[in-house]
Structure 1
Amino acid sequence: MFAFNLGMIFNYQTQVRLRTCYLQRAWLGILLFVINTPSLATTLSLKDAQHLALNQDVYFQGSKLEEAAYQHDSNAADSWDNPTISTTLQSVPTDGFSLNQEPMTQLKLGIRQAMPRGNSANISRTIAIEQAQKEPVKRAARRAWLLREVSLEWLAWYRAEQTLALLREESQSLAQLLETVESSYRSGVGGTQQQDIIQIRLERLRLKDTILKEQQAASVALARLSRWFDFSSEVSFTVPETLNHHEIFPFNKSLATQLKRRDVLNVIDAHPSVQLLVKDELVATQKLTLAKEQTKPKWAIEAAYGYRQDAQNGMSQADFISVGVQVDLPLFNSKRQDANVSASAARLGVTSTQRRLEVRRLAALAEAREAELASLTDRQQLFDTALLEQSESLAESALNAYIADKGTFDDVMRARISLISAKLDALALHVDIAKTLAELAYLYYPLTNEKNQLTGSRLDDRFLDTHKTTTDGVAKQ
């Protein structure tokens, strides 16, 4: 009985050791698998790229620090200069240097307070406040510019990746065509010739070279995009399968036709780049006022107390109190002050002119982009309704005619080249529309800004995007 129990215990311990060994090997295998497994590709959408760029842009942090600095400057500007305290031992006789020898000898303690010239302190404070208020506008302008730049570079990367996908699909189609032609050549059916096989192989080599070029272009485009945000080198990004124009510009494509020119100018006038010039104009106005204040006199108040010792004969001598006012008369520097006022007035005029020019420039760009968008939309409709379908029909009919020995192989290759060219042109057109919409989103930033919802603005819901989205992600009216 005792031996039996020892045997059971020994078997049980052996099983535990084996089970533990198996578990350790299993965990080791899982660990090695995780370490050696390559990183999975992550889909990087346009919104994700914009979000990463906005969150990792160090400009915003610097702008907030600059705003805080101007706020501190405003607190410092609205204050007077420190008072000046002076101590003077005056009218000391030189024949004996006795402080009670002469009645004029006294120890004088004085204080002087200079006041700002005119209202210059309050104006300087206002200038600092205006400079601080410029920083949020500068951040909005930076945000609008950054969204546009990231969108354009992301779209360049998207076009390169989608071009690669089309070329790889065409490579597979050529591989299938090569199998069909080789099978027909081996069976002796039809008029298939050896040069047809060579021509397909040569076309595949050319296509492979084109794929390598596009891979390089895609890598360069991703590298340019990655300068806006940091990510691990082990992470690989892929583009989404579809591109939705509505995510780039959430309004009708015919927005310009629904807006009056006055409304367009109102939207552009609220653009951060224009509002930044408005802030510059306000600062220039305050600087002109400050220059005019410098022509006013500068006042100072002083007071002094003079202490005298008793006379040598014991006679008490009265102490003195002095009160005075000083004024700075700007008489001899009037030429310099007038020049400063004229220069400040000229700078104000320059800033006002720049603001009007900026509004005109943005309005002209918006009009040009709207005209470009209309032309691109017409071309896209042509591709979607006829050109792509006809190119596919031509390629299919040419292949069927060649198999039935009613057509030449050159017709097949020309039809395939025409089809892939049409697909690449359609992709380029699709991306060009997206780039134009990104430009319009920048120009109409007051409308597209997420913080300024359309329902709370002066424009009504008739500008909302009411067109449907097709299966390929292209927004159509």
Structure 2
Amino acid sequence: MFNCNLGIVFTSLTQARARTYYLQRAWLGVLLFVVSTSSLATTLSLKDAQHLALNQDVYFQGSKLEEAAYQHDSDAADSWDNPTITTTLQSVPTDGFSLNQEPMTQLKLGIRQAMPRGDSASISRTIAIEEAQKEPVKRAARRAWLLRAVAMDWLAWYQAEKNLVLLREELQSLVQLLETVESSYRSGVGSTQQQDIIQIRLERLRLKDTLLQKQQAASVALAQLSRWFDFSSEVSFTVPDTLNHHDIFPFNKSVARQVKRRDVLDVIDAHPSVQLLVKDELVATQKLSLAKEQTKPKWAFEAAYGYRQDAQNGMSQADFISVGVQVDLPLFSSKRQDANVSASAARLGVTSTQRRLEVRRLAALAEAREAELVSLSARQQLFDTALLAQSESLAESALNAYMTDKGTFDGVMRARISYISAKLDALALHVDIAKTLAELAYLYYPLTNEQNQLTVSRLKDRFLDTHNRFLDTHKITTDGAAKQ
């Protein structure tokens, strides 16, 4: 009955895992089927790209196999060496080789069992368990790194595609401007000259060359993004119309400045890359304990049974039983054992130092990215409130002045170039802010990712409360910019 129930439970678990696996593959298959329709361009959002990359990353499968291997190692480590069985025919006389000639001749059967040195077997098992427990942390660190890497490649592709949109719009504006100038030149109205038409045509050719370069950059960016997941070459992807910064990093840029630095360090300390070093420190601690166990004596126990034949005169001879204990004395290996202990202690110190350095490095990066984000947000506010509008007004004023013989055509072209440059700069600034937010999302991964097993819920609630209070106090908009 027990075996039957166990088989049912195992079958149920297997079926549940199979259903989960096929559901994931089905979702991926549906998505790839949708995007493989060559007749329609499919919008590939940042979340979709990250989801595809996470589902197709083979690292996670290898990590799970590595974890299973360490678990098997832990089962194998906590065991004794095999006993040794010996069979000896001893004290046989050489003058007749008769087994009953001399009373000391016997057939001896012995068994010997060596014991682990101290608690080395248990410690070795603990080391294997700690190594197995590192794998989920490695997967979390890989996930955080992969989300950031995909975000950077996707944002580069987004910027390249949006550059194409702006340049195509500018090309269309130049076509309209050319038609207007040609019409004015044919009608003889104003001071339009033939060189003005030539200059527009030359600028249009330069813009077409720039478009070809940007198309190449967009193709390269998409190819760079495609290294994270597989799709057919016939798939046509497009970027979404807008880029929401809040989807990348849900917190306000200043939220880390509103809480105590100790809380920020606690979040950094829960980062997978730091926790991985914590696991390394635990393994190094156990290895130090294992090195100390090697200084203890190693015991072995043995027992033997000696069988003797009856004497030649028919007298019965008693059999023998032997029991013994063996222990090795570390007389000549003490120097080596002490050196191993010292080396293990030094490696423990190295891992502890690396963990502190990693916390300091990530905290410094977070501080730098926040300072960078403040500067970028100020620039974006300048573009949104004044620079773009004034550049557009300048382009319109220059064209109106030229059409009324109050301006030069060179002024018109300079104003248009300034306007398109301002729009391209505004787009680059928007993407730079998104990249900085992606960096912050990586640095504050325990707060921004619900699937992270290392999430500190208490700190997350504290950050959310502070964030909401900051929004209420300063009336922060959804994209993190303060209302004027």
Report the Cα distance in structure 2 between the residues aligned to 1:334 and 1:414, rounded to whole angstroms: 83
Describe how 1:128-143 pairs up with structure 2 within 5 A. Answer: 128-143=128-143
> For residue 112 of structure 2, what is the aligned residue in structure 1?
112
Report the Cα distance in structure 1 between the residues aligned to 2:451 and 2:466, rounded to whole angstroms: 17
> For residue 51 of structure 2, what is the aligned residue in structure 1?
51
Describe how 1:151-190 pairs up with structure 2 within 5 A. Answer: 151-190=151-190
Please report how far the alpha carbon of residue 476 of structure 1 lies from its aligned counterpart in structure 2 after TM superposition: 3.1
Describe how 1:21-420 pairs up with structure 2 within 5 A. Answer: 38-420=38-420
CA contact (8 A) 2:446 2:456 kept: no
Report the Cα distance in structure 1 between the residues aligned to 2:95 and 2:451, rounded to whole angstroms: 84
Please report how far the alpha carbon of residue 254 of structure 1 lies from its aligned counterpart in structure 2 after TM superposition: 1.0
Residues 452 and 226 of structure 1, relative CA distance in 2, 3 Å threshold: closer
Report the Cα distance in structure 2 between the residues aligned to 1:73 and 1:130, rounded to whole angstroms: 11
Report the Cα distance in structure 2 between the residues aligned to 1:218 and 1:38, rounded to whole angstroms: 19
Report the Cα distance in structure 2 between the residues aligned to 1:455 and 1:148, rounded to whole angstroms: 20
Are 2:473 and 1:468 aligned?
no
Residues 281 and 57 of structure 1, relative CA distance in 2, 3 Å threshold: same
Deviations 1:97-144 (A, max 9, x none): 000001000000000000000000000000000000000000000000
Report the Cα distance in structure 2 between the residues aligned to 1:414 and 1:287, rounded to whole angstroms: 70
Instruction: Give the residue type in structure 2 aligned to 1:178.
Output: L
Report the Cα distance in structure 2 between the residues aligned to 1:317 and 1:288, rounded to whole angstroms: 54
Instruction: Give the residue type in structure 2 aligned to 1:227.
Output: R
> For residue 20 of structure 1, what is the aligned residue in structure 2?
none
> For residue 457 of structure 1, what is the aligned residue in structure 2?
458
Report the Cα distance in structure 1 between the residues aligned to 2:346 and 2:280, rounded to whole angstroms: 13
Report the Cα distance in structure 1 between the residues aligned to 2:425 and 2:359, rounded to whole angstroms: 35
CA contact (8 A) 1:244 1:475 kept: no
CA contact (8 A) 1:39 1:234 kept: no
Report the Cα distance in structure 1 between the residues aligned to 2:242 and 2:50, rounded to whole angstroms: 17
Report the Cα distance in structure 1 between the residues aligned to 2:115 and 2:451, rounded to whole angstroms: 45
Deviations 1:266-313 (A, max 9, x none): 010000000000000000000000000000000001000000000000
Deviations 1:377-418 (A, max 9, x none): 000000000000101111111111111121111111111001
- Aligned-residue Cα RMSD (Å) equals 1.4
> For residue 15 of structure 2, what is the aligned residue in structure 1?
none
Instruction: Give the residue type in structure 2 aligned to 1:76.
Output: A
SS in 1 for 2:87: strand
SS in 2 for 1:39: coil
Deviations 1:325-383 (A, max 9, x none): 10011111111101101110111111111111111111111111010000000000000
> For residue 431 of structure 2, what is the aligned residue in structure 1?
431
Report the Cα distance in structure 2 between the residues aligned to 1:451 and 1:215, rounded to whole angstroms: 37
Please report how far the alpha carbon of residue 464 of structure 1 lies from its aligned counterpart in structure 2 after TM superposition: 4.6
Report the Cα distance in structure 2 between the residues aligned to 1:357 and 1:383, rounded to whole angstroms: 39
Report the Cα distance in structure 1 between the residues aligned to 2:301 and 2:127, rounded to whole angstroms: 27
Report the Cα distance in structure 1 between the residues aligned to 2:458 and 2:211, rounded to whole angstroms: 48
CA contact (8 A) 1:304 1:322 kept: yes
Report the Cα distance in structure 2 between the residues aligned to 1:239 and 1:463, rounded to whole angstroms: 34
Please report how far the alpha carbon of residue 203 of structure 1 lies from its aligned counterpart in structure 2 after TM superposition: 0.3
Please report how far the alpha carbon of residue 206 of structure 1 lies from its aligned counterpart in structure 2 after TM superposition: 0.3
Residues 331 and 455 of structure 1, relative CA distance in 2, 3 Å threshold: closer
Instruction: Give the residue type in structure 2 aligned to 1:300.
Output: A
Q: Percent of pairs identical after alignment?
A: 87
CA contact (8 A) 1:113 1:300 kept: yes
Report the Cα distance in structure 1 between the residues aligned to 2:106 and 2:40, rounded to whole angstroms: 91
Report the Cα distance in structure 2 between the residues aligned to 1:91 and 1:218, rounded to whole angstroms: 90
Instruction: Give the residue type in structure 1 aligned to 2:477.
Output: K
CA contact (8 A) 1:163 1:424 kept: yes
Instruction: Give the residue type in structure 2 aligned to 1:457.
Output: R
Moved more, 83-92 or 399-408: 399-408
CA contact (8 A) 1:251 1:463 kept: no
Deviations 1:224-268 (A, max 9, x none): 110010001110111111000011101111122112111111010
SS in 2 for 1:376: helix
Deviations 1:55-92 (A, max 9, x none): 00000000000000000000000000000000000000
Instruction: Give the residue type in structure 2 aligned to 1:274.
Output: V
SS in 2 for 1:393: helix
Instruction: Give the residue type in structure 2 aligned to 1:431.
Output: V
> For residue 11 of structure 2, what is the aligned residue in structure 1?
none
Report the Cα distance in structure 1 between the residues aligned to 2:480 and 2:47, rounded to whole angstroms: 17
Report the Cα distance in structure 2 between the residues aligned to 1:127 and 1:113, rounded to whole angstroms: 24
Residues 42 and 427 of structure 1, relative CA distance in 2, 3 Å threshold: same
Unaligned runs of 5+ in 2: 1-36
Instruction: Give the residue type in structure 1 aligned to 2:239.
Output: V
Report the Cα distance in structure 2 between the residues aligned to 1:437 and 1:183, rounded to whole angstroms: 49
Report the Cα distance in structure 2 between the residues aligned to 1:301 and 1:45, rounded to whole angstroms: 69
CA contact (8 A) 2:398 2:407 kept: yes
Report the Cα distance in structure 2 between the residues aligned to 1:435 and 1:167, rounded to whole angstroms: 23
SS in 1 for 2:465: helix
CA contact (8 A) 2:171 2:204 kept: yes
Report the Cα distance in structure 2 between the residues aligned to 1:90 and 1:373, rounded to whole angstroms: 87
Report the Cα distance in structure 1 between the residues aligned to 2:378 and 2:340, rounded to whole angstroms: 57
Report the Cα distance in structure 2 between the residues aligned to 1:226 and 1:452, rounded to whole angstroms: 25
Please report how far the alpha carbon of residue 452 of structure 1 lies from its aligned counterpart in structure 2 after TM superposition: 5.4
SS in 1 for 2:310: coil
Moved more, 290-299 or 232-241: 232-241
> How many residues get paired?
437
Report the Cα distance in structure 2 between the residues aligned to 1:358 and 1:130, rounded to whole angstroms: 20
CA contact (8 A) 1:250 1:464 kept: no
